[in-house]
Structure 1
Amino acid sequence: MKIFLAFAFLIKFSTSVPVNNGQLDNANLTEFMGSRIYVPGEDLTRFGINSDNTTIFEAQFAPHFGVNNGQIMTFAIWTSVNTAKLVFFHGKTYEERTRFDLSQAPEILKHDKFDNERPTVLYLHGYLENLECESIHVIVDAYLQRNDHNIIVLDWSKLAYGLYFMGAVPNLQKLSDPLSDSILDLINAGLDINKLHVVGHSLGGQLAGATAKHIKEKSNKALKLRRISALDPAFPGFYPQMFYNHIDKYDAKFVDVIHTNGAMAGAPISTGTVDFWPNSGEFLQPGCMEAVCSHHRSWRYWAESVASKDGEQNFPAVKCTSWSDFKTGRCDEDNFTYMGIACPTTVVGDYYLETNKAGPYAKGTAGMDFY
Structure 2
Amino acid sequence: MSHLQVNFNTISLLFISLVVATHAQGGLFNLPDVGKSLKDIATGVSKDITSYIPTPQGIFESSKNLVAGYPFEAVSSAINTICSSALSSQTIRSRVTPDLRKIQFQLRTSCNKYSYPLLDANQIWQSPEFDSTKKVVILVTGWTTTVNNSDTIDVLAKAYNCRGDVNFVAVDIANFVATLYTWAALNTDEIGASLAKGIDLLTQVVPLENIHLIGHSLGAHIVGAAGRYFNYKTGKLVPRITGLDPAKPCFNEGHVLSGLLRGDAKFIDVIHSNPGVLGKREPMGDVDFYPGGLDPLPKGCLDVVCAHGRSWVYYAETVYPGNELNFMAKRCTSQTNLADNKCPGAESPMGYAVPHALRGNYFLEINSAAPFGKGANKEKLLSQANCGLCVEKTYK
Is this a same-fold pair by TM over 0.5? yes
Residue 88 in structure 1 maps to residue 107 in structure 2: yes
| TM alignment of 1:83-232, pairs within 5 A | 83-90=102-109, 92-93=110-111, 96-131=112-147, 132-165=149-182, 167-187=183-203, 189-219=204-234, 221=235, 223-232=236-245
**Alpha-carbon spacing, 1:85–1:151, altered in 2? closer, same or farther (3 Å):** same
Normalized per residue, which structure has more strand? 1
Counterpart AA for 1:211: A
1:243: Cα distance to partner?
Answer: 1.8
Higher Rg of the two aligned structures: 2
Counterpart AA for 2:230: I
C-alpha distance in 2, partners of 1:83/1:8? 35
- Do 2:290 and 2:363's aligned partners in 1 also have CA atoms closer than 8 Å? yes
**Alpha-carbon spacing, 1:331–1:195, altered in 2? closer, same or farther (3 Å):** same
Superposed CA deviations along residues 273-306 of structure 1, whole A, max 9, x for unmatched, are 1110000144001111111110000000011111
- Do 1:6 and 1:235's aligned partners in 2 also have CA atoms closer than 8 Å? no
Please provide the CA RMSD for this pair.
2.6
2:321 aligns with one of 305, 309, 318: 309
C-alpha distance in 2, partners of 1:82/1:179? 12
> Which residue matches 1:320?
332
TM-score normalised according to structure 2 size: 0.71
| TM alignment of 1:251-270, pairs within 5 A | 251-270=264-283
**Alpha-carbon spacing, 1:329–1:365, altered in 2? closer, same or farther (3 Å):** farther
C-alpha distance in 1, partners of 2:321/2:240? 19
Work out which structure has the larger RCO, using CA pairs closer than 8 Å and 6 or more positions apart in sequence.
2
Aligned residue for 1:228, secondary structure, equals strand
Superposed CA deviations along residues 209-230 of structure 1, whole A, max 9, x for unmatched, are 11111011112x2x10000000
- Do 2:98 and 2:191's aligned partners in 1 also have CA atoms closer than 8 Å? no
TM-score normalised according to structure 1 size: 0.76
User: Which stretches of structure 1, 4 residues or more, deviate above 6 A after TM superposition?
Assistant: none
C-alpha distance in 1, partners of 2:316/2:354? 14
Aligned residue for 1:324, secondary structure, equals helix
Superposed CA deviations along residues 182-217 of structure 1, whole A, max 9, x for unmatched, are 111111x22111000101100111111111110111
- Do 1:10 and 1:265's aligned partners in 2 also have CA atoms closer than 8 Å? no
Superposed CA deviations along residues 84-133 of structure 1, whole A, max 9, x for unmatched, are 2110113x23xx11111111111112222111221110001111111212
C-alpha distance in 1, partners of 2:83/2:331? 37
- Do 2:70 and 2:296's aligned partners in 1 also have CA atoms closer than 8 Å? no
Greater shift in the superposed pair: 254-263 or 113-122: 113-122
- Do 1:355 and 1:361's aligned partners in 2 also have CA atoms closer than 8 Å? yes
1:361 aligns with one of 363, 368, 372: 372
